[in-house]
Every structure is written in C-alpha cells, then in structure tokens.
Chains A and B, each alone.
Chain A
C-alpha cells in the first residue's frame, strides 16, 4: 500500500489561515492604538473648547465664582468642572491644585487648566471613562471584522484549490499514465514551479524510452545476426544429410545447430527478462498468445492439449512478448522434460495450469544453468519463467505430485478491466 503523505493544500490552507489570522489581530491592535491616540486628541480638544466657552461666560458674569466643583450635566461623574476667581479660595476637587495652564494626567483624571485675567477653569475627565470608550470601540471593531475573517476560510480554501488545480491535474496525469506509455508530458497550463519537475520527468521518460527501444533493437538485431548464419549453415547441410558417408555427421551437426539456436534464443530471452521486459505494459488476449505459442512449438515436439475452459478471450494488461516468452518457456520446458502429453488448462479465475507426466525423481530447477545430469536442456527455461513471473507480479506454484509435474500461474493480477474501455 502506498502512503498518501501530507497534503500540500491542507498545509497551505492552515498556514495561510494562521498568517491571515495573525495579521488581522496585529492590524486590529494597531487600529486600536491609532484609535486611542485619535480619541485622546478629540476628547482633549473637546475639553479645550469647553474651557474656552466657560471662561468666556464667566468673564461676562463678572467676579462670580462657583463655590464647588460640579459635574457637567449629563456626564454624571465622568466630567467635572471647577471655576475659580482670581485670588479666591479653591474649592475641593478630585485632583490636586494646579498652578499652570494646560492638559495633564492626574490620577484617574485627565485635567485641563485654562485661565483668563479673572478666572481659572479646570475641567477634568475620567480616564476610566475614556478607557471604557476605547474598549467599546475596540470591541466593535473586533466584532465587525470577525465575520470577515470567518468568510475568509472558504475563500482561502477555494482559492488554494483553484491555484493548485494544475498541480493536481499533473499528478493525476502522471498516476493515470500506463506503464508502457513513455511519451513526454505536455506543458499545457503547468505553473512555472512545476516546470522543472516536468522537465526532469520527461528526461527520465526519454532515457527509458531510448533504453527500451535500444533493447528491442538489440534483440531484433542480435536475433538476425545470430539466427541467419545458423539458418544458412543448416540449409547448406541439407544435401549432405542424405549422403551415405557424411549423412550421420551432417545430421549430428544439424542437431547441434538446432541446439545452438535454441540456446541463443533462450540467452536473448533471459537478457530481455533481466532488462525488465516483464515491467513493460500493454494489452493482450491471453488465448491468442497461448494458441500462437503452442502452434509454434516444433512439429512433433510433444502433444499439447489446450483446454481453454470455454473462454473465448481473456485480456491481460501486460506486454505480449513478455507473456509469450514466459508461456513458451513454461510449456516448452514441460514438453522437453516431460514423458507424455502436456495439458494446459485455463480457468475462469485466470489461473493457468500446465501439467505433464515426469520420470521419478524429477524436480523443478529454477536456478540459472541448473539442470539434471545428462539433461539436454539449457538450464534457463524455468529461470526465465521465474524472472518474468516475478516482474509481472504473477504468483507461480510448482509441485510434483504422483509422477505429475504441475505449475499453476495465477494471472488474475494482470486481468484487464475492460469496463474502463467501454
């Protein structure tokens, strides 16, 4: 099972939300600070206006003075006013006596002292009241902005989803690509950040494609270069085989050439299997391949009875050559080392049984070049079968039972999902 790993979109969503939230809080605090500063200025200016007004009124009324400080109507105890006539007694107030004009903080009060020739006006405003007003303004700001922040959540989610859509589409295209499709990925709509990834991936695909093509070319050329001279040699031997004096030797050489040709073919197959032929993808009808493989067995090699289980076709997702090499060696091995007809039986669950009678003491030999004494085999057939079955992910069970060799190849893992094509 493949680990899913962490989600880029999830991490980005969390990070963006955290940063946006922190920024919003910082902005709110800054806003409250600015608001505080501006409120102080406005309220101070209000105190000055009131002081000027009171002074002007008092100047018009002569030398009367208010005997005591009093709260300005409507402000309860938040705003206090004290008017002194020059040289007169100072009525008590919640702040100490002031000697100079101007604004100052005095205990819990913000106090303004203003004077004219005959009067002194002191106006005090509760600092608690000012703080309370600021707190209410801050709360209002917070409550007004909170829905905006909550609204940001889905907006961030949608924005990130849209922004990451090309990356997600690219990832899906890579995941959906069949193993045998080595064409480069197009740059359509891909963001610049993913371009290096695409370029690197295309580089690997290019190299892989060249390697696969080179391997195919090599197999074709090697087969041509090796088989054609053998064919020519066999053809030249043909007239000698009927010669009374040279016939026996010619036939022996002919058999040796057949053996050499078989060995060359199996060495090439082993090389291809070890190069990863079984990992190449494709789509193929198992029964067509099975029939062709049985048909191409040398005439008179051994009788092979195919029981297709009344199945007309069975499509597999795998490379035709890899499957054919596997089947050729599996059935060919049964033919070569068995003592009777080979039965090949396919069942509906994509299990292929190959069975044949064998001599006592016969054993399966999967190791390379491992063969029984006096055997005319190459010691490669089952090695190739084992290699390819592993690469293709096909479980293979081999057993000897009552003088019968049985191999069951489970092909179900490679069964093609034809519904996807419909």
Chain B
C-alpha cells in the first residue's frame, strides 16, 4: 500500500522509509507542511504518518485542514510530544492514532496495517452491530462516529457477550466477567448491567433467553 511519511528529521525519515519499503509499501516522504499538502493533493494514500513539529508549521493544523475538507485518510501522529494535552489535542483534531517517539518499528508497522484495514472496511478488531461500531481492542463503542461511554463493568459484560457472539451466555458466566473487579457482586448485578447497556446501546443489542441467559445476535 501507499504511505505518506511526514517527518522533518532526515535521519529518522530515512530509517523509516527504508523499513517501510522493506515491508513492501510504496512510501513518499514530505519534510514540511507544504510538501505534505502537495503530496496529498496529487496522490491517494492508505495511511499517513504525521509528525507535529514541522519547520513551516504544525502537523496538527495540517490534520485539521484535512478533516475540515472531509478527508478520512487514516492519520497516525508520530511525535516527540509526550504530554497528555498534546495527545488529546491530536485525537480531538481527528487523528486515528498517536504514537510517541521513540517507537518500535514493528509495532508501528502493525498499527499502520490495522488502520489501513479499517479504512478498507475490514477491521480485525472492529465489530458492527445494530448501527454501533465496537472496537474491542480499545474497549470503545461508537454510534455514527460519536463515542458512547461505558463504565468498566458495563464493558466487561458487553465484552463477554461479544466474545461469545451468537451464543447464549448464562448469568453465572456473565457474573464471572464481573468477578475480576474484586467487589462483592449483588444477586441482580447482571440484570442491572444488561439493563444499563440496553439503555445506552439500544434494546436490540442484547437479547434475553428466558431461563438460559443473554446473547448478542
């Protein structure tokens, strides 16, 4: 696949390009915002790897302009900025991922492939159920791009049901998913969390099999 690496450090860019080309990707390099915008105007990329501190501007502004145009190109921010405020700003600006330098090239390669797959509509760890997009790897649920916030216990119950998708899970099996929190589990805990999940996600997401348990169809 064709990748764009936006990185102003020649040393790092050269090593990155060599590694990614070695993995069979076609990789273009841009050392500035201007060069990146020129490349994005003339080519279709599967994924862009974007540094934030560029000599002629901020990679974040470039990303915002891209998203403002409606461009859904998967963008992985690869930066030296390790502050949480930078990470939040990057994700809020529309980045699909955020990795801090120095990164492991194998891990970076895996992330690039995952985002490319997702963009092509074949995400490995993403499920679509009743209009919901569920990212099991990152324990997140989205509806029309907006995240639905689940608490840890709600996610534990949903994740257990997703792991056995199409099969009925007994109340006892679901209680086991809650045991990891070490707190005392009330007799009706499973019913409570299933009810809360239905309220947040929609009633059709979890079905009840009377006398047997619950399932995600």
- Chain A interface residues toward B at CB < 8 A: 219-220, 223-236, 238-239, 257-258, 261, 265, 288-289, 292-293, 295-296, 299, 305-313, 320-321, 323-325, 343, 345
Does B153 lie within 8 Å of A310, measured CB to CB? yes
Does B102 lie within 8 Å of A231, measured CB to CB? yes
Min Cβ gap A246→B in Å is 16
Does B151 lie within 8 Å of A292, measured CB to CB? no
Q: B9: nearest residue on chain A (CB-CB)?
A: A228
Chain A residues near B71: list those with CB within 8 A.
Answer: none
The complex places the Cα of A43 from the Cα of B86 at a distance, in Å, of 96
Min Cβ gap B110→A in Å is 9
What are 5 A-to-B residue pairs whose CB atoms are below 8 Å? Answer: A220-B81, A299-B107, A307-B182, A321-B85, A324-B83
Does B84 lie within 8 Å of A321, measured CB to CB? yes
Chain A residues near B15: list those with CB within 8 A.
Answer: 232, 235-236, 238
Does B22 lie within 8 Å of A312, measured CB to CB? no
- The A interface, classified by DSSP as helix, strand, loop or mixed, is helix
B183 at the interface (CB under 8 A from A): yes
The complex places the Cα of A174 from the Cα of B152 at a distance, in Å, of 41
B37 at the interface (CB under 8 A from A): no
B100 at the interface (CB under 8 A from A): yes
Does A227 lie within 8 Å of B102, measured CB to CB? yes
Min Cβ gap B131→A in Å is 21
Does B12 lie within 8 Å of A231, measured CB to CB? yes
Q: Please judge, given known A-B contacts A228-B9, A238-B15, whether A292 and B84 are in contact too, CB under 8 Å.
A: yes
Chain A residues near B153: list those with CB within 8 A.
Answer: 307-308, 310
Min Cβ gap B5→A in Å is 11
The complex places the Cα of A226 from the Cα of B80 at a distance, in Å, of 8
Q: Please judge, given known A-B contacts A224-B53, A324-B83, whether A312 and B149 are in contact too, CB under 8 Å.
A: yes
Does B12 lie within 8 Å of A232, measured CB to CB? yes
B138 at the interface (CB under 8 A from A): yes
Does A231 lie within 8 Å of B80, measured CB to CB? yes
B101 at the interface (CB under 8 A from A): yes
Across the A-B interface, the 6 shortest Cβ-Cβ residue pairs: A235-B15, A324-B84, A231-B102, A232-B11, A227-B80, A231-B101
Does B151 lie within 8 Å of A311, measured CB to CB? yes
Does A224 lie within 8 Å of B102, measured CB to CB? no
Does A295 lie within 8 Å of B102, measured CB to CB? no
Which of B9, B100, B104, B152 has most A Cβ within 10 Å? Answer: B152
Chain B residues near A261: list those with CB within 8 A.
Answer: 102
Does A258 lie within 8 Å of B149, measured CB to CB? no
Does B19 lie within 8 Å of A239, measured CB to CB? yes
Does A232 lie within 8 Å of B151, measured CB to CB? no
Task: List 12 additional A-B contacts (Cβ < 8 Å) besides A219-B83, A309-B151, A324-B85.
Answer: A220-B53, A220-B83, A227-B101, A228-B9, A229-B11, A230-B101, A233-B102, A235-B15, A239-B22, A265-B82, A313-B149, A320-B85
The complex places the Cα of A308 from the Cα of B181 at a distance, in Å, of 10
Q: Please judge, given known A-B contacts A307-B181, A312-B149, whether A231 and B84 are in contact too, CB under 8 Å.
A: no
Chain B residues near A293: list those with CB within 8 A.
Answer: 84
Does B19 lie within 8 Å of A228, measured CB to CB? no
| Chain B 85-107 per-residue mask, 1 if CB under 8 angstroms from chain A, else 0 | 11110000000000011111111
Does B80 lie within 8 Å of A223, measured CB to CB? yes
The complex places the Cα of A257 from the Cα of B15 at a distance, in Å, of 16
Min Cβ gap A299→B in Å is 7
Q: Please judge, given known A-B contacts A228-B12, A231-B102, A312-B151, whether A307 and B183 are in contact too, CB under 8 Å.
A: yes
Min Cβ gap A384→B in Å is 14
